[in-house]
Amino acid sequence: MASISALWQVNDDPKPWIVVAAAVLALGLVAYPPAWRLSRNIVTIAHEGGHALVALLFGRKLDGIRLHSDTSGVTVSRGRPDGAGMVFTALAGYTAPPLLGLLFAWLIGMGRTTLMLWAALALLAGILIMIRNMFGVVSVVTTGAVIFAVSWFASDQIQAAFAYFGASFLLLAGARPVIELQRMRSRRQAPTSDADQLAKLTGVPGLMWVLVFGVVALASLYVGAALLIPERWAFDLLPI
């Protein structure tokens, strides 16, 4: 069983096969359609959480978050209908999952596996306060319960495996919703998407915002992968 003091301990690097297995499992969840339909709910939580956090940072009033069983979601905030606050709030959705994965990879790379798990719990607790429908409550509570159980009861190696899996999943899953978004836009099925809202707010075409989402996802994956590989493996993916 873990303790609060464990948050500040530096964890040892996991065994190499754990890192590989975590990445392979995460890739499987993203690439295999039936698994993706279920695991995409995690991405939606991060997506809507990104909207909510940035809205609050820019002084907007947050009315609530709703998560739906079809893996869609909506975050409602009030405030000025244009300007930087609205632009960054709209921009935060698709960029939040890969950037969160990058943050988790950074913590893991510093050996702060337990801290990473509890940071995820803190973020979920903040999101739970603003959830306004039952499916959303169940999704967030279930996710939080799994993370808490692992962080409190599991051994260091299991915690490491779970943390690597979580970070790898967010990094790998960052690009697929962007591809799905553009596919829906090309079929005129998403007229009010984040990209199209940004186009109306800025005058920059929606396709350019989709490209921004994609660049953030791919850059986060590249840097995050380098951070997740233990130094002793003698790989250096970041050119200096």
Give the pLDDT score at 230. 66
**pLDDT above 70 as % of the chain:** 90
Mean pLDDT for the stretch of residues 229-239: 55
Mean pLDDT for the stretch of residues 117-140: 96
Would you place residue 237 in the very low, low, confident or very high pLDDT band (cuts 50, 70, 90)? very low
Helices (H), the chain: 16-31, 33-57, 84-109, 113-130, 134-153, 156-173, 176-186, 194-202, 206-228
More confident residue, 233 or 103: 103
Delimit the domains of the chain by residue range: 25-231
Q: What is the pTM of this model?
A: 0.91
Mean pLDDT for the stretch of residues 59-80: 94
Give the pLDDT score at 229. 82
2: pLDDT strictly greater than 60? no
- Between CA 101 and CA 133 the distance in angstroms is 26
9: pLDDT strictly greater than 80? no
- Secondary structure of residue 192 in the 3-state scheme: coil
Mean pLDDT for the stretch of residues 7-31: 84
Give the pLDDT score at 235. 46
Give the pLDDT score at 120. 97
Q: Is 150 exposed, middle or buried (0-12, 13-18, 19+ CB in 10 A)?
A: buried
Residue-wise pLDDT for 153-170, tens only, equals: 988 889 999 999 999 999
Residue-wise pLDDT for 211-221, tens only, equals: 999 999 999 99
More confident residue, 11 or 128: 128
Q: Which residue has the tokens 């609205």?
A: 86
Give the pLDDT score at 7. 59
Dihedral angle sign, alpha carbons of residues 112, 225, 14, 173 = positive
Mean pLDDT, the chain, rounded, equals: 91
Mean pLDDT for the stretch of residues 174-182: 96
Pick the closest to residue 151 from 204, 115, 127 (CA basis).
115
State the first-to-last Cα distance of the chain, in angstroms, to the nearest integer.
40
Give the pLDDT score at 6. 60
